[in-house]
A and B are shown apart, each in its own frame.
Chain A
Amino acid sequence: MSAFVFKMVWRETRAAWRHFTYFFVCIALGVAALVGVGLFAANLERAIQREARSLMAADVELRTTRLLTPAAEGVLMKLDGRDIARLQVSELVAMAAAPSGTQLVELKAVEPGYPFYGKLRAVPEDALATLFTGTRALAEETLLIRLDLKVGDTLKIGHVEFTIAGVLKKEPDRAAGAFSFGPRVLISRQGLEATGLVQPGSRVTYRHLLKLPEALSPKAVQGELAATFPDKTVRVSTYQDAQPMLRRFLRQLTMYLGLVGLIALMVGGIGVASSIRAFLREKLENIAVLKGIGAESGTILRVYMSQTLLLGMLGSLAGAALGAAFQFALPPLLKAWLPMELEFRLALLPFVRGVGMGLLTTVLFALWPLLEARDVRPNLILRREVADEPTGSPGLMAWAISGLLALTLAGLALWQAGSWRAAGLFIGALAAALALLNTAAWLVVRLARRVPRWRPLAWRQGLANLYRPGSQAQTVLVSVGVGVMIILAIHLVEQNILWEIGENVPTDAPTFFFIDLQPDQRDAFERLLVERGHTDARLTPLVRSRLWALNGQQVRRESYEDREHGWYFTREYVLTFLNDLPKGNAITRGDWWDGGGSSGLPRVSVEEEAARRLGLDLGSTVEFDIQGAKVSGRIASIRKVDWGNMSTNFYFIFEPGALEGAPMTYVATTRVDPREEVPLQRAVVAAFPNVSAINIRAVLDSVAQVVDRISLVIRFMAALSILAGTVVLAGALAATRFRRIYEAMVFKAMGATRRVLASTFAVEFLLLGAAAGVIGTGLATGLAWGVGHWILDVKWLFQPRALVWGIGVTIAGTVLVGFLSTYRILGQKPLPVLRRE
């Protein structure tokens, strides 16, 4: 680059350092929003995912009902070399005996280190650690009540007398449900081995929990293990699968934060782009003069490109630093707001992405006007106040370069979004919005020309400002419109997700299960509950069975033992019979029975996935073995089950009457106030000694807590993006301020007071805000719908109130920013300004 270019860059910057600083700040704001919001979203997501891991107490789990083969052990051993920690949890049903009686319990044996994530709560606090120092056990309160025990008493399981070391209050990874066999007892693995309960053929579920180093993705390890593990009957799952409902919300959270990042990227881009445009606008005159005195286009291009790049580079670096600094400033302020352990760290990538984005946008938006100005005769530019905008053709080169840059930006967006679909939708939406907004802006400007010139000077002049040559109305309309579109879309999507979460988190989910109710106890039990004020109890019949035959073909269990998904053939099925289709179930094929008897085999409804795995279709027959007795049915419908709905779900449902006479028990579910829990249990135990209570409040609470945090984070990030977007938009709007000075001063020279000037600006900003608000709001609705429909899969909720607010706030905001950015113009002295022109 020639010395002249350097000199010019330096001189230009020195001469107009105030402007330079102004645009520098505007650009820095854009990039700061981009980097700050992106980093913060990533940090928050990490915090939530961490919490979600506690629901499985691990990153990845391998679940099997058999001891691992040596080959399988070998695969697991190899994991140790990769910094992956693991431990084994065994679960089985066992009989616990106390002087007062016996009780089926769900026994769980753990190793030191359990749980990898989350907290096990017990009273006393440190009871878990004592398990590994002798034959001790932790038991749930329901068991203590049932067997009339207290801490310190002994409980005999198998050959071993365990001392009850404490009351188990909450296990992070408990997945209790209606199919429980009894209360939980927690012992050590050594303790379990000593009981002698684990024999060949005993039904033990082994869970191998893995804790991965940060760099490993659970999904990837899951995939790898599923592919390489020699024993195909092992089910490999990640923590996200632990609670089906959460899986959905976690996925939505990830998507949402991705979108927020994308939106920060765009808002930042708008900020940078409009600043650069306004900056170059200021330079057009100098360009014309330089041309006039004989500077070559190439030289001019290099001078202003270098200067713009310098501006973009400094602004982007400062913005990225500011965005990063934000990560440290924010957490202390947020302590009360986000009750999570936030671990903030700086990643290099978002930083690089932010600077790259800032620079690319700078180049993209600088190149075009500069190339355009290259072919324009200088006098056209010099007369820009009176002539139309320079309309030189920027040339093929510009198209090519701009296309390339736009593609790179799209690539950056893709990188940010992490999904083709999301990025595609967003880029598409942005392109469509830009086209629409440009057209709309063009229309508004044309329309403004047509509006009768009403008397009030302020009105007329404000209107005229929209279409006056060299007016930035169109630019402002587009950037504010896009800004409003994405900010409001983020809000609309947020509302949709929160609404869906609110819909799906069952506030009335049962907290208590009573199991093993005998059919003849049913009426008495219901009476007891009603007497105690629990009118919401639901009793569901349960019949434990195994598959006997499919379409008349007997199921040989041995032949499925080693097959992947073979457990569909070998597992125990809990059957039920129901009159009505339960909540959270939807028939996909066939019909539910609505009264009307059937001829022939009883009708059965089967869950979709089970039907697929078992090869069942409408009309197929199934035969179950219920403790030796055989019951057949014909498939009458196939159901889709929302496994996340937190109630009791069944693979097979028979029509009423079909299971008459089969050995069945009832499970009662009810919602119990925490203070009522112990009295109710005591009353039930006293009246029905065979019935056990399962308290799942703790499980519900931990799920609810994660869901709460997800909502909180979504809400918070929406607020943060809206705030950042507003700041950036304000910057973009304020960047047009220098253009207004001249005209304001001419008016002033003629005797216009500040009030007149201010109302002129007010009219202009009001019109701009109204147009941008209406168009942006309309586009936001479309975008939010698209995101909800194609990306997040949430139900659409039309929110007229948000739209009205969107328009109102845009107008108010535009006028306010307009006022703030022109306020100081009003007091300027005309002479120095006019002598410059």
Chain B
Amino acid sequence: MIAIRNLSMRLVSGGREVSILDDISLDVPAKQFLAIVGPSGSGKSTLLGLIGGMDTPTSGTISFDGRDITKLSDDELSRLRLQKIGFVFQSFHLIPTLTARENIAVPMELSGDPEVNAKADELLRAVGLESRGHHYPVQLSGGEQQRVAVARAFANRPVILLADEPTGNLDTTTGEQVIELIIRLNRDRGSTLVLVTHDPALAAHADRIVLLRDGRIASDDLRHRGSGAHP
């Protein structure tokens, strides 16, 4: 499904070049639940962003079903994200001027889905916010905002869900609820899930744990838990 080959990311910062990701190669089969862990600054967010086509690597390739996305144009990347990828960020990144329901509807509207209304309501229900649909992000708690973000991420039935520390800004209980929501929706819809986290407890849910250190893969631990799919 996702094939990463010799991926490197270097940036010039403060006049000198820093290596953020260094020669990463990784295969993620369809429907796998992969957790990426590692110390702060090890490059987790950068790797996730690159997988989502949100930035361009310095070298190496990322292929989805054999199609190299590093060569795609800006708009092709946008369309790819629209159709195949859902994002959940640590700091939610909801559009402040739209209500919860409208935020969820945006990806479907972008793709011209005719059943936006019904699906948006269904998603709201799925994340347990059917009564808060008309609220603006500012009127929601962090956990509620993140649930809206999760619903938005699943709106277009993505085959890949990318989540970057989705619980990082939430307390433990709320975090638990959100992660359970993500895992449940992921299982229901049969998508591939890449989750970046600091939290070993969260990583424990995963089929596979990749440990990043200084921009390299330090360990790749495939676990047989029966819940996920196997390569």
A457 and B55 within 8 A (CB): no
Q: How far is the CB of B102 from chain A (nearest CB, A)?
A: 8
Residues of chain A within 8 A (CB-CB) of B98 are: 461, 464
Residues of chain B within 8 A (CB-CB) of A453 are: 102
Residues of chain B within 8 A (CB-CB) of A746 are: 93-95
Known contacts A830-B55, A834-B54; A751/B97 CB under 8 A: no
A750 and B54 within 8 A (CB): no
A747 and B106 within 8 A (CB): yes
B97 and A837 within 8 A (CB): no
Q: How many residues of B contact A (CB 8 A)?
A: 37
Known contacts A386-B96, A834-B89; A748/B78 CB under 8 A: yes
Closest residue of chain A to B139 (Cβ to Cβ) is A386
A752 and B93 within 8 A (CB): no
Q: How far is the CB of A650 from chain B (nearest CB, A)?
A: 74
The 8 A CB mask of A433-467 against B (1 = contact, 0 = none) is 00000000000000000000101010001001101
Known contacts A385-B96, A464-B98, A465-B97; A751/B83 CB under 8 A: yes
B75 adjacent to chain A (CB < 8 Å): yes
CA of A831 to CA of B45, assembled, Å: 9
Known contacts A386-B138, A464-B97; A750/B55 CB under 8 A: no
B56 adjacent to chain A (CB < 8 Å): yes
Residues of chain A within 8 A (CB-CB) of B152 are: 750
Q: How far is the CB of B39 from chain A (nearest CB, A)?
A: 17
Residues of chain B within 8 A (CB-CB) of A383 are: 138
Residues of chain A within 8 A (CB-CB) of B60 are: none
Residues of chain A within 8 A (CB-CB) of B94 are: 746
B110 and A457 within 8 A (CB): yes
CA of A748 to CA of B82, assembled, Å: 9
A391 adjacent to chain B (CB < 8 Å): no
Q: How far is the CB of A345 from chain B (nearest CB, A)?
A: 46
Q: How far is the CB of A505 from chain B (nearest CB, A)?
A: 58
Residues of chain B within 8 A (CB-CB) of A292 are: none
Closest residue of chain A to B137 (Cβ to Cβ) is A386
Partner of A755, one of B45, B75, B81, B106: B75
B106 and A457 within 8 A (CB): yes
CA of A753 to CA of B78, assembled, Å: 5
Q: How far is the CB of B135 from chain A (nearest CB, A)?
A: 12
The 8 A CB mask of B32-57 against A (1 = contact, 0 = none) is 00000000000001100110101110
Residues of chain A within 8 A (CB-CB) of B106 are: 457, 747, 750
Q: How far is the CB of B74 from chain A (nearest CB, A)?
A: 6
Q: Which 8 pairs between the two chains have the least Cβ-Cβ distance?
A: A751-B82, A831-B49, A831-B55, A468-B97, A831-B54, A386-B138, A464-B97, A751-B81
B79 adjacent to chain A (CB < 8 Å): yes
B130 adjacent to chain A (CB < 8 Å): no
A625 adjacent to chain B (CB < 8 Å): no
Known contacts A386-B96, A387-B138, A464-B98; A749/B54 CB under 8 A: yes
B91 adjacent to chain A (CB < 8 Å): yes
Max chain A C-beta neighbours (<10 A), residue from B79, B81, B97: B97
A743 and B109 within 8 A (CB): no
A830 and B79 within 8 A (CB): no
Max chain B C-beta neighbours (<10 A), residue from A469, A743, A753: A753
**Interface pairs (17), CB distance under 8 Å:** A386-B136, A455-B109, A746-B93, A747-B106, A749-B93, A750-B110, A751-B111, A752-B82, A753-B75, A753-B79, A754-B78, A756-B110, A826-B74, A827-B74, A829-B55, A834-B93, A835-B49
A294 adjacent to chain B (CB < 8 Å): no
Residues of chain A within 8 A (CB-CB) of B143 are: none
CA of A492 to CA of B152, assembled, Å: 53
A339 adjacent to chain B (CB < 8 Å): no
Residues of chain B within 8 A (CB-CB) of A830 are: 49, 54-55
CA of A564 to CA of B98, assembled, Å: 81
Interface of B is mostly: helix
CA of A385 to CA of B138, assembled, Å: 9
Residues of chain A within 8 A (CB-CB) of B156 are: 751
CA of A826 to CA of B80, assembled, Å: 17
Q: How far is the CB of B165 from chain A (nearest CB, A)?
A: 12
Max chain A C-beta neighbours (<10 A), residue from B75, B96, B136, B156: B96
A750 and B109 within 8 A (CB): no
B228 adjacent to chain A (CB < 8 Å): no
Q: How far is the CB of A311 from chain B (nearest CB, A)?
A: 23
Partner of B110, one of A387, A752, A834: A752
Closest residue of chain B to A456 (Cβ to Cβ) is B109
Residues of chain B within 8 A (CB-CB) of A468 are: 96-97
Q: How far is the CB of A640 from chain B (nearest CB, A)?
A: 63
Residues of chain B within 8 A (CB-CB) of A385 are: 96
A751 and B110 within 8 A (CB): yes
B52 and A749 within 8 A (CB): yes
The 8 A CB mask of A723-760 against B (1 = contact, 0 = none) is 00000000000000000000100111111111110000
A597 adjacent to chain B (CB < 8 Å): no
A200 adjacent to chain B (CB < 8 Å): no
Closest residue of chain B to A835 (Cβ to Cβ) is B45
Tier of interface size on chain A: 20 to 34
CA of A750 to CA of B96, assembled, Å: 15
Closest residue of chain B to A455 (Cβ to Cβ) is B109
CA of A531 to CA of B149, assembled, Å: 96
Q: Find residues 61-90 in chain B having any chain A CB closer than 8 Å to their own CB.
A: 74-75, 78-83, 85, 87, 89
The 8 A CB mask of A327-370 against B (1 = contact, 0 = none) is 00000000000000000000000000000000000000000000
B107 adjacent to chain A (CB < 8 Å): yes
B56 and A750 within 8 A (CB): no
Residues of chain A within 8 A (CB-CB) of B75 are: 753-755
A201 adjacent to chain B (CB < 8 Å): no
Residues of chain A within 8 A (CB-CB) of B102 are: 453
Q: Find residues 189-207 in chain B having any chain A CB closer than 8 Å to their own CB.
A: none
Residues of chain A within 8 A (CB-CB) of B93 are: 746, 749, 834, 837
Closest residue of chain B to A755 (Cβ to Cβ) is B75
A832 adjacent to chain B (CB < 8 Å): yes
Having A464-B97, A748-B81, A751-B110, one finds 8 other A-B pairs with CB under 8 Å, namely A455-B109, A464-B98, A468-B97, A750-B87, A753-B75, A827-B74, A829-B54, A831-B49
Partner of B107, one of A387, A750, A826: A750
CA of A256 to CA of B80, assembled, Å: 59
Q: How far is the CB of B36 from chain A (nearest CB, A)?
A: 15
CA of A385 to CA of B74, assembled, Å: 26
Closest residue of chain B to A837 (Cβ to Cβ) is B91
Q: How far is the CB of A400 from chain B (nearest CB, A)?
A: 34
CA of A748 to CA of B110, assembled, Å: 11
Residues of chain B within 8 A (CB-CB) of A832 are: 55
Q: Find residues 133-154 in chain B having any chain A CB closer than 8 Å to their own CB.
A: 136-138, 152
Residues of chain A within 8 A (CB-CB) of B138 are: 383, 386-387, 469
Q: How far is the CB of A444 from chain B (nearest CB, A)?
A: 16
Q: Find residues 807-837 in chain A having any chain B CB closer than 8 Å to their own CB.
A: 826-827, 829-832, 834-835, 837
Residues of chain B within 8 A (CB-CB) of A464 are: 97-98
Q: How far is the CB of B80 from chain A (nearest CB, A)?
A: 8
The 8 A CB mask of A369-408 against B (1 = contact, 0 = none) is 0000000000000010111000000000000000000000
The 8 A CB mask of A467-481 against B (1 = contact, 0 = none) is 111000000000000
Known contacts A386-B138, A831-B55, A834-B54; A749/B96 CB under 8 A: no
CA of A832 to CA of B50, assembled, Å: 11
Closest residue of chain B to A471 (Cβ to Cβ) is B97
Q: How far is the CB of A453 from chain B (nearest CB, A)?
A: 8
Closest residue of chain A to B49 (Cβ to Cβ) is A831
Max chain B C-beta neighbours (<10 A), residue from A749, A751, A837: A751
Closest residue of chain A to B91 (Cβ to Cβ) is A837
Closest residue of chain B to A466 (Cβ to Cβ) is B97
CA of A467 to CA of B98, assembled, Å: 11
Closest residue of chain A to B56 (Cβ to Cβ) is A829
